[in-house]
Chain A
Amino acid sequence: MTLIIEAVVLGILTGSVYALMASGLTLIFGVMDIINIAQGILVILGAYLSYTLEKYLHIDIILGLLVTIPALFLLGMGIEWAFMRRIKRDRVMISILVTFAVALVIEGLLNFTFTANYVQLQAPYIDAAIPVFGFYLPYIYVFAFILSGVLLTLLYFLVYRTKFGFGLRASMQDRTAAALIGIDVERVQTITFGIGVALAAAGGMVFGATNPFNAASWGDLISRLLVIIVLGGMGSLRGALFASFAMLVISDVIDVVWSPIWASTVFFALLIVLLLFRPQGFFGRIEGRKQ
């Protein structure tokens, strides 16, 4: 029983981090019709930035977010300006190819800079743990949960309680109509892409603190993130949150009560069944944007 409780607790805590990373991905898709395959490598880039700050400047990895989040925000806006803005038609398909190319370039640069050796972020609270429910709960998971909660709340207020958020949501619903009522859609898109990528910095810090990583680690990560946004509903922030918890808790519980080999199979079987009855995912829109 302790094992199941531990799996549920860790599933929820880890799920919050995946929710953070997937929120960036789904936000970008919702506003721009772009599937950012590079989100996985940007998470790894965020982890490497934290690693660099911690190793060479001895800046605590959580404090380092004050540097890495703005840095990736600027990088995200740069990528949008340099590549995404140029995609005028078949945005979904072409964006997959373009962002995949961006990911490969970043992976190559990271391999060149940091070599392919595995590294992991270090901080006193990464290895420390507190006893709860008969097992030891690592502090880093608790901190990650709090961090994700704060950032996702801020994101919620940004999207639903600000003028920028109004423009963002209008762009999500209908870009042409949004432009007609005076919203600078291009600016909204650039900032949205920046926000989406900035969230990868926080996700990367937590990923790097809880997993050894190298540049190639993005492959497994992006496949998980894509599953989360499909399950939650493409473009839905609520969906990303809900699907992250669902995926991690279901997988972790099946891991411990049955077998890790079956965890993915059972999860994907459930995903297929759900998509048969709700092709739009938990919270996705039934109709696509008509433009």
Chain B
Amino acid sequence: MLVFSSVTISKLISTCAVVILLLATLAACSTQQNSNNVTQAGPIVIGASIANSGDFSADGKPTQQGYQLWADNINKQGGLLGRQVRLDLVNDNSTPEGVTTAYQKLINVDHVDLVVGPFADLTAVAAAKVAHRSGYALIEGSGTAVAVFQQGLDNIFSVSLSAKNYMVSFAEYILALPANMRPKTAAYSSQDDPFLVPQLDAARSLLENGGIKTVLNEKYPAETSDYTPFAQKVIASGADLVMLGTFTPDSIAYVKAFKQQHYNPKALIAASGPDQGDQFTKPIGGVKVAEGIFVPNGGWYAGINTFQNDQFQKDYIAKYGGTAADISSDTVQAYSVMQVLTQAANKIHSIDNAKLIQELRSDSFDTLQGPVKFTPDGQNSTAVAFLFQWQNGNLIPVYPQDHAQANPEFPKPPWQ
């Protein structure tokens, strides 16, 4: 019995050793898969997950358009590092779980050379975690919430303005108003979302320090479709200044409710929604209703004088039609991601992920959204927020002064 047990144990130990050796070999192989260099033949495959269904499906298509437009352009110019580029795009259903599965597939099954980010904050974190395990860099454009950069991930690089800075320009503008014109009270109502809440918190802190009294500060769950009760509370607060942490549907609901209830604050800003063109203006009843509404801008607008923007706008219109004003910020962010990737790869003449991460940490880059320089946690330290406002049927930059096309309209005119 004792001999039998000894044999069994020794067999077990041998088996374990073989398994460990096999796993070590596999791990080494998988690490080697990342050591891509420019001498390999065939196209460079870049993977990303796209929200083609689910909550972020409205952002999925423009994100895909940005990636695809860049791929078409770079291939026309001879490719990246002399190799053609192929995109491997997988639907993630707008969920972190879907993103995790998608990036596992891209990296472990499809063996893509590089990965770039999905849409949204939580999904960017999920993607970066999977990429981190395999030593991939993840450059992304829409994961900008504070929480994204608190994960201890050294492979995530966000090319866009950090969420907490979006409303800062608006707060600075309000505090710069003469004391007799400045709003006395403010109401803050935000969807409980990691991209939106930090925006309002940062602005509220500035405004409170500037003497503007908070009369309402409220969050509501993201998974809701009836916003009427939340709008009622803002209306009941009677605040001079209203700041909304919204996406498109809730921004529409708030504006409609305010108009229905004849509530017209002196200034109204929504984090997102008013920047969505006719997706916003049609449901609220036309551009006249939008008059005077502010929206922050992450660093790009049609006609801005930034790196390759003229060419980008022409290429976009040639491929997708419409006008430059129709270009979604999602498309711009996705294209900017690829601009950074291109410059980093060209500078090191490689698509080796470890070298790319090193390059991204140390260098600076140019994009449609302006210059990019990453902090150690992956934020873009050079991005500046602009303040936009609907005026006479157009959404135009009004602050800061050096980018303004007109003076801000204050106080907001009555609803039309």
Contact = CB atoms under 8 A, between A and B. Distances in A.
Interface of A: 2-3, 6-7, 10, 14, 104, 107-108, 111, 115-120, 122, 127-129, 135-136, 138, 210-217, 219-221, 223, 248, 251-252, 255-256, 259-261, 263-264
Range, interface on chain B: 35 or more
Contacts of B58: 116-118, 214, 216
A216 B55 contact: yes
A26 B55 CA distance: 26
B267 interface: no
A103 to B, nearest CB: 11
Interface stretch (B31-39, B224-232, B302-310, B386-394): B224-232
Nearest to A260: B220
B53 A115 contact: no
Contacts of B249: 118, 211-213, 217
Contacts of A215: 53, 57
**Which 10 pairs from chain A and chain B are nearest by CB?**
A260-B220, A120-B283, A255-B229, A116-B57, A116-B58, A212-B249, A212-B252, A129-B260, A252-B229, A220-B225
B236 interface: yes
B319 interface: no
Nearest to B94: A216
Nearest to A18: B226
A271 B157 CA distance: 44
B130 to A, nearest CB: 24
A120 B232 contact: no
A216 B261 contact: no
B261 A135 contact: yes
Interface string B267-284: 000000000100100110
A10 B261 CA distance: 13
26 contacts: A3-B232, A6-B232, A10-B229, A14-B228, A115-B61, A116-B60, A116-B61, A117-B279, A118-B249, A118-B279, A119-B282, A122-B282, A127-B259, A128-B260, A129-B260, A129-B261, A136-B260, A136-B262, A211-B253, A212-B252, A212-B283, A220-B223, A256-B236, A260-B229, A260-B230, A263-B229
B382 interface: no
A215 B57 CA distance: 9
Contacts of A135: 232, 261
A217 B225 contact: yes
